[in-house]
Amino acid sequence: MDTQEYVVDALLLVVLVISTLILVFSLNFDLIKSLAAALMMISLGGLIFLVHWKVRRIEKALTQRERMIRMNMEEIATMMSQKYENHVSHIDAIIEEITKRVYR
């Protein structure tokens, strides 16, 4: 899944470099200027590629943290529910004891 996205980015990088070389050669620049333009486009494409990779890594980290927070929230909810049930049963026991004493 992720490799397909990176393959598409790599193909776009190749298209960027080839189109830059065709443009530079059509303008009758010499070889050094053409290679400099190609290196510039490769570095620009590489920069875009790295930014995309880092954004994907951040997205994965955020989804993992969200999953951990959701699990912690569920655990806290079950613990609070158990404590609530314990307190309610304790209060019911006290009320039952008090009603027994009142009816004696």
Buried b (16+ CB within 10 A) or exposed e, 9-41: eeeebeebbeebeeebeeeeeeeeebeebbeeb
pLDDT for position 79: 95
- pTM of the predicted model as reported, rounded to 2 decimal places: 0.61
* Average pLDDT, 10 consecutive residues per value, the chain (104 residues): 73 81 78 80 84 91 96 95 94 89 74
